[in-house]
Amino acid sequence: MGSPVAKRAGNQRLNMLIDRIKLFESGFQAIKENIEKLLQQSDAKAVLLVDRDGNLITNAGETERVDLESFATLAAADFAATSQLAELIGEQQFHTLYHQGERDHLYFQALVRNIIIAVIFDQRTTLGLVRVRVKHAAETLSKILEDIFGGQEQAVPEEEPRIKDISKDIEDELDRLFG
């Protein structure tokens, strides 16, 4: 089956994986709480967190009438197109975008790790209030995201074999218990 040393090493890896999952859970909860807080403090209709690949991370507020998948994809495309415009005029990128509609408006701000915060708002609030509240929320959210993902890019290549080893250890243990 496996030596005691191998089992201990497997248990240590499993415990590390569990700790990482707990970090993701607590981090996601903190993100969700901050999104809700931003929604309330800015008096916006909705707040969404998306990545630059067009994936929705989380949202809060009045989103029932919004195709969230399309919104996330288009928000990412909007940032990509605007980044190209920024380069044309000698800027690295624009960190905020604003779109004014007749009823509803959009405000976007780039965060760390290619994450975008999007706020949908109407006449209940002002652009100035949204900008101030987003700025404060962005600082907090960026810190949370760095805490969650900090150093992960370097760790991924080294972690893949460990994850395979952990999976093998888990399968072996399940076979032993139920097989």
pTM above 0.75, yes or no: no
Q: Provide the pLDDT for residue 114.
A: 86
- pLDDT band at 178; cut points 50, 70, 90: low
Q: Provide the pLDDT for residue 113.
A: 74
Q: The tokens of 170 are what?
A: 């888990």
3-state secondary structure of 151: coil
What phi and psi, each to the nearest 5 degrees, are found at residue 138?
-60, -40
Mean pLDDT in residue range 126-130? 94
> How do the domains of the chain map onto residue ranges?
4-178
Q: Can you tell me the distance from the alpha carbon of 136 to that of 90, in angstroms, rounded to the nearest whole number?
A: 28
79-121 pLDDT tens trace: 889 989 999 999 988 899 999 999 999 999 999 878 999 999 9
In CATH terms, is domain 4-178 a member of 3.30.450.30?
yes
145-177 pLDDT tens trace: 888 777 444 433 444 444 445 556 656 655 555
Q: Can you tell me the distance from the alpha carbon of 26 to that of 46, in angstroms, rounded to the nearest whole number?
A: 22
Percent of all residues in the chain with a pLDDT value above 70, rounded to a whole number? 70
Q: The tokens of 73 are what?
A: 């994809």
16-29 pLDDT tens trace: 566 566 567 777 88
